């Protein structure tokens, strides 16, 4: 099931996305929220009549860096032996179709296409064999990074945590499994229609299970929290006016435009 969060006539709701052709997609409005038992209402609205919102509003976004070997090497970094985590605040999250605001304190903004895991229930100290049970689904993400700031500041809070630096969407796909991701889904990114990144999730150094076991050893995850799983090689610059799109096989396409902040 594809679960979207949207607004229509000033109201916010979740809906199940139905249909295959992009111009014929409809939303069956959900009674309740997707983090508990819910029913489909049978009330349907065309997708093109609503505004898509970020599919979740996470309490926290836990991101993992250097989880694709070729990406680590392209930036001159060593491949870490253990998962390498950092945070992006909830205020960094935007949805598909929202603008990425180029921060005034940076002159080198980069894109990073990523698979995002959406947590479905409160959990901590999750054993490997139970990881699939705490996942609601998966979505597309773009870990927008002020690369020049990242290079000169030891902490990444400003470089990766500024407002609009975490596009998520367009919806959550609940039918994928960690094993399918381990076998390999295509992940690609285009800028103005030109391909910049192309990889497969099977290239991840540390698996979905590795990452969730790693972070829940340290902290509790809440429903709606998001795990970013790293980016394949090919990261590069964005400029004002660019349209950047992340497409992941079996999920969909997340599209955003870069605008001047202010």
Q: What is the pLDDT along the chain (262 residues), one digit of tens a residue?
A: 999 999 999 999 999 999 989 889 999 999 999 999 999 999 999 999 999 999 999 999 999 999 998 887 888 878 888 999 999 999 999 999 999 999 999 999 999 999 999 999 999 999 999 999 999 999 999 999 999 999 999 899 999 999 999 999 999 999 999 889 999 999 999 999 999 999 999 999 999 999 999 999 999 999 999 999 999 999 999 999 999 999 999 999 999 999 999 7
> All domains of the chain, ordered by start, with CATH?
2-52 (2.30.30.370), 61-260 (3.90.850.10)
- Give the residue from 56, 12, 86, 65 showing the smallest Cα distance to 173: 56
SS3 content of the chain, % helix, strand, coil (to 5): 20, 45, 35
- Partners of residue 188 on adjacent β-strands: 198, 247
**pLDDT of res. 71:** 86
The per-residue pLDDT for 217 is 98
Classify burial at 140, counting beta carbons within 10 Å of its beta carbon; exposed 0-12, middle 13-18, buried 19 or more: buried
What local confidence, expressed as pLDDT, does residue 171 receive? Answer: 98
Give the Cα separation of 169 and 253 in Å (integer): 7
User: What's the CA gap between 169 and 147, in Å, rounded?
Assistant: 23
CA distance 125 to 92: 27
Closest CA to 139 of 55, 57, 235, 68: 55
């Amino acid at each position: 099931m594809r679960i979207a969060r949207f607004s229509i006539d000033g109201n916010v709701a979740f809906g199940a996305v139905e249909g295959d052709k992009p111009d014929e997609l409809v939303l069956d409005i959900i009674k309740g929220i997707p983090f508990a038992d819910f029913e489909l209402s049978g009330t349907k609205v065309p997708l093109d009549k609503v505004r898509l919102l970020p599919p979740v509003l996470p309490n926290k976004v836990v991101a993992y860096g250097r989880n694709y070997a070729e990406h680590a090497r392209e930036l001159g970094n060593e491949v870490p032996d253990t998962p390498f985590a950092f945070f992006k605040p909830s205020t960094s999250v935007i949805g598909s179709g929202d603008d990425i605001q180029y921060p005034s304190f940076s002159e080198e903004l980069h894109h990073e296409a990523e698979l995002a895991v959406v947590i479905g229930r409160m959990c901590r100290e999750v054993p490997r064999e139970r990881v699939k049970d705490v996942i609601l689904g998966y979505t597309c993400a773009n870990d927008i990074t002020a690369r020049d700031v990242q290079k000169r500041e030891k902490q990444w809070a400003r470089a990766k945590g500024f407002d609009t630096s975490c596009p998520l969407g367009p919806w959550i796909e609940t039918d994928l499994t960690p094993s399918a991701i381990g076998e390999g889904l295509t992940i690609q990114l285009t800028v103005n229609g030109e391909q910049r990144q192309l990889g497969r999730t099977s290239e991840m150094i540390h698996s979905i299970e590795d990452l969730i076991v790693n972070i829940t050893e340290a902290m509790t995850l809440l429903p709606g929290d998001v795990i970013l799983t790293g980016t394949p090689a090919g990261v590069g610059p964005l400029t004002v006016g660019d349209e950047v799109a992340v497409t992941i096989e079996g999920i969909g396409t997340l599209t955003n435009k870069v605008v001047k902040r202010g």
